Structures are given as structure tokens and as C-alpha cells.
Structure 1
Amino acid sequence: METLCGIAVFLLCLTGVAPTPVLQQPLSTSVPKGGTAALSCRVEHLNIGDYGGAWYRQRGAQGPEWVLVHWASGSIDRAKGITERYLPSRDTETNSYVLTINSIAEADTGAYYCAVTYNNQLHFGTGVQLLIPSRQLSAPIVHLHPPPADQLTHDNVTLSCLADGFYPGYVRARWTLDDREAESELCASAVEVSQAKDGSYSWSGYLTLPTGQWDAHSRYSCQLQHESSPEPIVSTIEREACELQ
């Protein structure tokens, strides 16, 4: 994957075409009713001071709705019903658009997506869930399990990453092979999420890859991003240690 990215950057330099902007948002943010939320959107490959930043919201099964846009000039256009409780700004140190929402109410909860128009295309962020928490935040306990021994003679093997006991129920997974992100062209992944009676969540992630890829690497990691921790929560296995068991 790093090689492909390097080629892409090289070609962009040759052609003079700027790379596509990337908009990154945290998974979720939990704010008590009546509190204040600051939703951030960090932008790469684009100077936020030169472009207007827009925000969209999606609540439940409804379609996304436009909230507002903060133009490069500093002016603000808001959708009907969006009051000055919704205040956009820019953080130039981190090159981020920020949407601050005051006096949080149930109607404010949902997924918020930042967006920017570049080269006549609208580019969206990954989305952040704004929640009013119903219990205390708790971090996931993560366990990565190697493929069963009888799979090693098959064409493909599957690693299982299991996490439980966390709240809220939003996690983002990253798989690495020898500390490099697994290439989607070689691997297939699947996830399942469920909620326990105590309100906490469980997550199951599965990575299937050719047996040759399992044999070609020695260190495997499942990394989970969650609101409760500023750093990913990681579980790692060593192939040689697994084969000795």
C-alpha cells in the first residue's frame, strides 16, 4: 500500500495535479444534555482558509440534511431552523473546520459530516456521531485470535478480532501486517456489532487473506479507534508463536 501511495504522489508531482483533499473526523463525541459540543474536521492537502467548509447532519433513518456553510470570506449561511447555537469556525493550527453546538438537546444528536467543494466536486469527511450519553464511557477490551490450525492447509485463512465492554458503540478498525496496513486488494474484512443488557457493546471483526499472505508476514495487529481513548487500542499476535502452540 505504501508503494502504491508513493507512485501516486510521484505521478501527481509530474502532472502538477494537486492531491484530493482528505477530511478526517473522530468517530463520536458524547456530550450531556445542555452541554457544548465542538465537532472537528481535520483537512489534508488543502488550506482551509481558502475554501468554505460545509456541514451536513443525518438523524436516524432520515436522509442527510444541509446544516450550514462557513465561507472563506467569514460569512455564514445557515439552513432554515438552524440558529446561532450552531457556530462554525476554523482552527488554523490543525487546519480544521470546527462546528460548535451550544445547549445540546436530543434533536441535535446524529451523524455530522463536514464537506468542502474542490475542483467542482464535493468531498465529505468520515462523519462523527454526536451523542447524549446514557452511561459512562468505557474502552473496549480487544483480543486478536489467529486462524484455526486446520485452516492453514486451505487457500485462505481468517483472523478474528473480538472487543467487548465498550460505550458508546462506535469503533473503527485498522488491520496491520508487519506494521503496514492490510491491502484491501489482498484481504477481505467483515464486522458485527451487538449491545449487551448493561448498555455496553461488543464488536467482532474478521480479516480473511490468502494463506500465502499469512506465511509472508510475522506480526499481525488489530487496532480499534474509540472515543474513550486518544490512541488506538491494539491487540497483536506473532505468527511463529501461534504455530508453536
Structure 2
Amino acid sequence: MMWLIDELGVEGFRTEVEKRMPNGKLERGSSEDLVNKQWERRDYFGVNPQKQEGLSFVGLHVPVGRLQADDMDELARLADTYGSGELRLTVEQNIIIPNVETSKTEALLQEPFLKNRFSPEPSILMKGLVACTGSQFCGQAIIETKLRALKVTEEVERLVSVPRPIRMHWTGCPNTCGQVQVADIGFMGCLTRGEEGKPVEGADVYVGGRIGSDSHIGEIYKKGVRVTELVTLVAEILIKEFGAVPREREENED
């Protein structure tokens, strides 16, 4: 369905549906466009004021959404100590602690767990990083995703400086649980040929996906890229498509 709507557009899809209606008409749910054209994606990290006076919610970055049992115990302690005992999960695999008294936010930010594990201020590329379960725990996945996504992103951050957040999504197979088509840069696991001609882990790389009122499905940038070659390719894409600057050049200009 998403491919069909992307090809026809919303109005084109609506026209095709109308052709198949008994009376040739499809009533609109509203006389005006209800999509907020000014909508901007938010990441919810750090301290954010709530509507309730005197309360804030604190967004924490969970690297590629991987939580261990001890992590959950510690998050529960923080929620009980500083909030209302409640935790919320975001669609990008992160954690929100709501209902924190604003007077307690500074003490929460000083907790070692936030400094060592789940930062409220992740780096610009890490904050938009999403990965599906991958082959470690999913029988459908073709490649390992979570650890590789972290490693590739860390290495890319050492190579380039990015001017704005970039959504990078990884999925281990064509089922695309990681929603690679709506990411700025998406990686879909596949098998490709290694230097000796034997099958090795690779990825089809997508570029240009968007969400919101100007939504668009990303397009294939390069197919069958060996995972060992992804760091160089991602750095190239960030420079070419997203205005990134090589670290060496940035340091020389400083």
C-alpha cells in the first residue's frame, strides 16, 4: 500500500478509489486539510516542560533501543525517585520519564546512569539511529543490525561533522521492521558477494525518506553494499546529500 500511495499520491489514490465506488463518489471526511503543514519532528531528549505547571518530562537516549534487565531496574528506580513511577517508550526506541518535578530535574541529570548509559543529550547522529532486532534474536533477519549500526555510526562520527540530525534506520530483512524507507538514510540487510565471490553480509542503502506533511519514501541509492564498506559510503552520502563536512577540513578551518 505504501508503494502504491507513494506512486499515485494521495489525490491520485483517492481518484482510483472513487472510480470503484457504486456512485462514483467518495465523501471527504473534512472540507479542509487536517495535516499540520508546520509540523516538525521532535526527538524529546533532555528536559522538556509539561502542560502541568511545575512538571517536566525527561527524554533519555537508549542506544539502538537495547535494554537489559538491570537497565530496566535502574530506570524503574529513577521513575519512582524523581517521577510518578511511570516510563514511556518512544517510536524511536528511547525512554521518557514523565511527571518529574522541575525542581528535581537537575538531580536526575546528575545520576551516574544518565552519564554512563542513557544520555539525555546524545550525539547528533546517535539521536536519529534506529535498528530492528537483527539476526542475533530474529530468525527472519539476514544480517546483524544493532551492534553494527552503533559501530558504523561511531566510525562515521569520527569522519564527518553533520549540521543537523539525520534519521538512520537499519532493518535486517525486507520485512523492514526498522522502517528504512522513511529514514534519511536506510539500510536493508541482504547477502552480497565478497572479494572471493562468497556470500557476505551486506545492505541495500536507501536515501531521502521523509515523514510528516511532506512525506516521501526513500529511494535506492546503492544495492548490495558489503557491510565492511558502509562507513565510507555513509560518510560520502552525508557530505553529498546532507551538508556534512569532513572532520579534517573542519579542524583545518578552525
- Normalized per residue, which structure has more strand? 1
TM-score grouping bracket, smaller chain normalisation: under 0.3
Query: Which TM-score applies when normalising by structure 1?
Result: 0.25
- Normalized per residue, which structure has more helix? 2
- The structure with higher relative contact order (CA 8 Å, sep 6+) is 1
Query: Which TM-score applies when normalising by structure 2?
Result: 0.25
